[in-house]
Chains A and B, each alone.
Chain A
Amino acid sequence: MAADVHNSKVNWDIQNESLAPIDKLRIERSDSPTPGIVEGTEPGAAQEKAMFVHTQSFEDLTAETRDTVDGDQEVESCDLTKLSNDLSQLSTHLLGQEEEQGEAEEKGEDQKVEMFDESLASVTSQDSSPCGREDICDITSDAWRNQRKHVFVLSEAGKPIYSRYGTEEALSSTMGVMMALVSFVEADKNMIKSIHGDGYKVVFLRKSPLVLVSVARTRQSEQELSRELCYIYYQIVSLLTITQLNQIFERKQNYDLRRLLAGSEHLNDNLLKQLDRDPGFLLSAVTCVPLAVSTRDIITSSLQAAKAKNLVFSILLAGNQLVSLVRKKDQYLHPMDLHLLLNLVGSSSSFREGEGWTPICLPKFNPSGFFHAHISYLDSSSDLCLILISTSREDFFCLSDCKHRFLERLWRRNAFQNLLEALQTPTYPVDLVGIPELRHFVYKSKSSGLYTSPELPPTYLVDEEQERLMGLYQYLHGRIHNSRNPLRYIYHCGQRENLLAWVTSGFEMYLCFSPLGTKVLAMNTVTKLLKWIRKEEDRLFILSPQTY
């Protein structure tokens, strides 16, 4: 089936224009942008139309709450003793301890104002021993219980579909209890959304015909955890389409979906790992390889020229970074869909073998249809991977030809060599900004959907520290976008670092300072950093996205 409609999403385009009329853009791009600047004029903003659908934090989740406003009753209405029995069973299974006072909330957010507890964050990060899939299959072992974040997917009939750690079979009983919990609370027309226990949260996401569950000892908010579950849901949809998924379970309620998903577990594994580490997944944004404008322009125009009738997107990646993206006129990619593509390419060496050709659903674009993706590396030694996405399953040789024409052009203009050279330094040190106390930052331009971030300083290079820093960003992200109480900025003092999170209509940034930094310094840094990014934006962002 051809996924040729972009349905309701197109109107954002008009919105953006009204926010930042194209002809005025250049004039308004001041060299010393102030934190109050509007969307479309912030550093990194695209000069013309953006290449992505505009996104909001938690858009999937907030859209859903709007859809289901009915059951506003409190959870007291259901039999609490039965609930707490199920709950203690579940927590014994998962965490190996009896849970005394679990607390279920429906539909709402976590209302307790949680104090940020530095000691807990460090304790939990110690727990994350990097184990391979096989080592931790024994679900009675401490190692398994101590994993920081378990993720389960089950069918509405309670059949296991995916488990992040341990085999799904071994977990059948745990999944059964979860399903019992879900259906028990649902019988009362309440939807179970989360359970907050002692140092952990259990979050449920109901996406019929699937139920997704996260059991986390992290400081992430319930929204944050639901959003991750959403990613896993979309990952599964991207392999099957929602149409197929529904059909399967309509035909046979207790179908074992693992048959169809065989071999895709590592896609979910890798996605969850990315969610723990990659700020792009947190911000619904992607980052670009820093590149001289002239080089990027040649690459982009070469992609433009290598077009074909059914081609919708041409995407050149270097690892997890974007080199260039060209799209069909009026068709926009959703960052989440691009993340799924990044995940597909990043989880498998299979595309190094030859030219890959695979059906793929981009759920945010159209959850019910398959695109067909031509995926190949430009040469055997680099990470340069070209993804060409077509609506036609017959297009393989056509796209293969597009690739050759693209490569020919690059060679003829010497851009390939320049690109390889630029890839020698795919990141930059934070020192370039010239603020000694600044250790790291993540800056997203909202209108372009692109972010930039320097390389991690040595203190954060080990896996645990990297995840701890990401955990702090996630924590701030969750708080600043809390739909009940959205904030503009948060200054957070910790023992090992101070952080500032700042959100305006144009950008979003997270800064990490040494513990010696002060709040005043942090505030002053914002202006200085914006100025620096403005100066570098040509290299760090794609300012003029193109269509065929």
Chain B
Amino acid sequence: MSGQRVDAKVVMLGKEYVGKTSLVERYVHNRFLVGPYQNTIGAAFVAKPIHVGEKIVTLGIWDTAGSERYEAMSRIYYRGAKAAIVCYDLTDSSSFQRAKFWVKELQNCEEHCKIYLCGTKSDLVEDDRSMRKVDFHDVQDYADEIKAQLFETSSKSGHNVDELFQKVAEDYDQLYSFQQMTEEKGVDLCQKKNSTFYACCHH
């Protein structure tokens, strides 16, 4: 078996153009690509190992397209996800409405998935406060209500990006080590099967 081992599946959700791909690019490759917009086709996967204390947790990050065309397919991307980073663009209020749609979708279909709300392009609203179209406190209230964590990030400057993913990994690790303990007591066996992603075929 040569495929890489992934501990936690993380899915990026949100309307097209909010900056999901840029967020992953910044986190994984520490770069911000300028140039004409390249919409994601289907979804893109990257595996990223990350230090949590002494341990290494490998996040398997699914960057989805967010377009309506793939909506029927989106379940295959978030099924079994341990964490979802639901993105909205701080300068586009419609993108926050869309974020709420994804939250509902996750609450209905993926109840074990932890939700992280992420307001993107914070550099734009820092430069010019009138650009902000989504109020921080409104979102904070909403986040409390759905028991989600809230981050505002900029992929351009890198602001808060590492912190977001670090938090995702730490939360997962806490839950996972807890699960291991329960496994040792022989309780939660079927949970173990789902918690790792492995290549599926044998030859």
A residues apposed to B, CB below 8 Å: 239-240, 259-264, 307-309, 344, 348-351, 353-360, 373, 393-398, 400-401, 404-405, 408
Known: A262-B16, A354-B46. A401 touches B199 (CB 8 A): yes
A397–B42 touching, CB < 8 Å = no
A357 → chain B closest CB, angstroms: 5
Q: Which of B33-41, B86-94, B108-116, B149-157 contacts A (4 or more CB under 8 A)?
A: B33-41
Whether A356 contacts B67 in the complex (CB less than 8 A), given A393-B76, A397-B198, A401-B199, comes out as no
Q: Is B7's CB within 8 Å of the partner chain A?
A: no
Contact with B200, one of A350, A351, A398, A405 (Cβ below 8 angstroms): A398
A263 touches B76 (CB 8 A): no
Which one of B3, B4, B16, B198 has the highest number of Cβ atoms from chain A below 10 Å of its Cβ? Answer: B3
> Are the C-beta atoms of A401 and B2 separated by less than 8 Å?
yes
Do the beta carbons of A400 and B199 come within 8 Å of each other?
yes
Q: Determine whether B70 belongs to the interface, using a CB cutoff of 8 Å to chain A.
A: yes
State whether the Cβ of B1 lies closer than 8 Å to any Cβ in chain A: yes
Q: How far is the CB of B35 from chain A (nearest CB, A)?
A: 8
B-side contacts of A358, CB under 8 Å: 41-43, 70
Contacts of A400 in B (CB 8 A): 3-4, 45, 199
Query: Are A350 and B73 in contact (CB-based, < 8 A)?
Result: no
- What residues of chain B lie closer than 8 Å to A309, measured between beta carbons? 201
Interface residues of B in 101-120 (CB under 8 A from A): none
Which of the residues B2, B41, B69 comes within 8 Å of A350, measured between beta carbons?
Answer: B41
* Smallest beta-carbon distance A244→chain B, Å: 9
By a CB distance below 8 angstroms, the chain A residues around B95 are none
Query: In the complex, are the beta carbons of B67 and A401 less than 8 A apart?
Result: no
Q: What separation, in Å, do the CA atoms of A424 and B69 have in the docked complex?
A: 38
Q: Which residues of B contact A353 (CB under 8 A)?
A: 21, 24-25, 40, 44, 46, 63
Given contacts A356-B44, A357-B45, are A348 and B69 in contact (CB under 8 A)?
Answer: no
Are A308 and B201 CB-contacts (below 8 A) given A263-B65, A350-B39, A353-B25?
yes
The 6 closest A-B pairs by CB, nearest first: A358-B42, A401-B3, A354-B46, A401-B199, A263-B39, A354-B44
A397 to B198, CA, bound (A): 7
Residues in A neighbouring B136, C-beta threshold 8 A? none
Q: Bound state CA distance, A505 and B127, in angstroms?
A: 67
Q: Which A residues are CB-close (under 8 A) to B70? A: 358-359
Contact of B44 among A261, A351, A408 (CB under 8 A): A351
Q: Which of chain B's residues has its CB closest to A265's CB?
A: B39
Given contact pairs A260-B69, A263-B16, A405-B2, A398 touches B201 in the complex (Cβ within 8 A): yes
Tell me which residues across on chain A come within 8 A of B24, comparing CB atoms. 353-354
B interface residue numbers (CB < 8 A to A): 1-4, 16, 21, 24-25, 28, 38-46, 61, 63, 65, 67-70, 73, 76, 197-201, 203
Q: How far is the CB of A520 from chain B (nearest CB, A)?
A: 51
Complex Cα distance A381/B72, Å?
34
Known: A262-B16, A355-B44. 20 other contacts (CB 8 A): A240-B69, A262-B69, A263-B67, A348-B39, A350-B21, A350-B40, A350-B41, A354-B44, A354-B45, A356-B42, A357-B44, A358-B41, A394-B76, A395-B200, A397-B3, A397-B199, A401-B3, A401-B201, A404-B4, A408-B2
**11 contacts across the A-B interface (CB closer than 8 A):** A240-B69, A261-B69, A309-B201, A349-B38, A350-B21, A353-B40, A354-B44, A357-B45, A393-B73, A398-B201, A401-B201
Q: How far is the CA of A260 from the CA of B68 in the complex (A)?
A: 6
Q: How far is the CA of A262 from the CA of B15 in the complex (A)?
A: 12
Q: Contact between B1 and A401 (Cβ–Cβ < 8 Å)?
A: yes
* Complex-state Cα separation, A349 to B69, whole angstroms: 19
Bound together, the chains give a CA A373 to CA B45 distance in angstroms of 13
Q: B21 contacts which chain A residues (CB < 8 A)?
A: 350, 353
Residues of A within 8 A of B198 (CB): 397
Measured in the bound complex, the distance between the Cα atoms of B46 and A395 in whole Å is: 16
Chain A residue contacts of B40, Cβ below 8 A: 350, 353
Are A404 and B2 in touch, CB under 8 angstroms?
yes
**Chain B residues closer than 8 Å to A259, beta-carbon distance:** 68
Contact of B41 among A308, A348, A401 (CB under 8 A): A348
Q: How many angstroms from the CA of A299 to the CA of B141 in the assembled complex?
A: 56
Pairwise interchain contact B46-A355, C-beta atoms closer than 8 A: yes
Q: Which of A262, A351, A354, A396 has the most CB of B within 10 A?
A: A354
CA distance A349 to B2 in the complex (A): 26
Smallest Cβ distance from B73 to chain A, in angstroms? 6
- Say yes or no: A354-B41 contact (C-beta < 8 A), given A397-B200, A398-B200, A401-B3: no
Establish whether residues A344 and B45, one from each chain, have CB atoms under 8 Å apart when the complex forms.
Answer: no
For B69, the chain A residues whose CB sits under 8 A away are 239-240, 260-264
The complex places the Cα of A357 from the Cα of B40 at a distance, in Å, of 10
CB distance from B12 to the nearest CB of A (A): 11
Known: A240-B69, A400-B199. A355 touches B45 (CB 8 A): yes
A405: chain B residues within 8 A (beta carbon) = 2
**Quick one: given A259-B68, A393-B73, A408-B2, are A351 and B41 in contact (CB under 8 Å)?**
yes
State the CA gap A105–B157 with chains docked (Å): 60
The closest CB in chain A to the CB of B28 belongs to A354
- Specify the chain A residue showing the minimal Cβ separation from B39: A263
A444–B4 Cα distance when bound, in Å, is: 42
Distance in angstroms from B59 CB to nearest chain A CB is 12
Contact (Cβ within 8 A) A357 B38: no
Whole-angstrom CA separation of A307 from B201 in the bound complex: 10
Q: Is the CB of B3 within 8 A of A262?
A: no
Question: In the complex, A308→B200 CA distance in Å?
Answer: 10
Rounded to whole angstroms, the CA-CA distance of A400 and B62 in the bound complex is 14
How close is B2's CB to chain A, nearest CB, in angstroms?
Answer: 5
Residues in A with CB closer than 8 Å to B2 are: 401, 404-405, 408
Instruction: Look across to chain B and name the residue whose beta carbon is closest to the beta carbon of A393.
Output: B76
**Closest approach, in angstroms, between the C-beta of A374 and any C-beta of chain B?**
9
Out of A260, A348, A354, which one reaches B63, CB within 8 Å?
Answer: A354
- Complex Cα gap A351–B68 (Å): 20
A350 contact set on B, CB distance < 8 A:
21, 38-41, 44
Q: Are B68 and A357 in contact (CB under 8 A)?
A: no
Closest Cβ of chain A: how far from B182's Cβ, in Å? 26
Please, which residues of chain B bring their CB within 8 A of the CB of A307? 203
Closest residue of chain B to A305 (Cβ to Cβ) is B203
User: Who on chain A is nearest to B66 by CB?
Assistant: A263
Nearest residue (CB) in B for A345 is: B41
